[in-house]
Amino acid sequence: MDEQEFFRSVAASTGLGREEAADLTRATLQTLAQRLSEGTVRDLALRLPDGLDEVVRGIKGRPSKQVGLENAEEKVRERTGLRLDEVHAGFAAVLATLREAVPEATYAKVVGQLPHQFRDLVDEPT
């Protein structure tokens, strides 16, 4: 999967336009990376499609199961100007697409460092 396919997948899942989906994807990946250990961020950067790797490379985060989904969604909403329902759908779409785009072990490390609400998004019935 390349960067454009990632954006198309998020756009298709959310109903957003390609540019909005690209902005949402970048903001979501950065927000997620801020909640991960440096080693996991490095691994994620190595596994993401070209272009998206630069979005997370160098982010120094800290794993925190205390900072939940609502806080993360608000940060992305502020950065993108999208509505909260669009951002919520975007988090689910980015995580689902990430699960397809990176090796299973990398995805497991990422979601393993996040509060359960993030994992639950991917498993929510549609």
Q: What per-residue confidence (pLDDT) applies to 17?
A: 96
Torsion sign across C-alpha atoms 62, 66, 68, 74: negative
Please count the helices (runs of H) and the strands (runs of E) in the chain.
8, 0
Q: What per-residue confidence (pLDDT) applies to 63?
A: 65
| 17 token code pair | 């336009």
- Selection from 98, 73, 68 nearest residue 85 by Cα: 73
| 31 token code pair | 């927000």
Q: What per-residue confidence (pLDDT) applies to 64?
A: 60
pLDDT tens by residue, the chain, 126 residues? 999 999 999 999 999 999 999 999 999 999 999 999 999 999 999 999 999 999 999 887 666 656 688 999 999 999 999 999 999 999 999 999 999 999 999 999 999 999 888 888 887 544
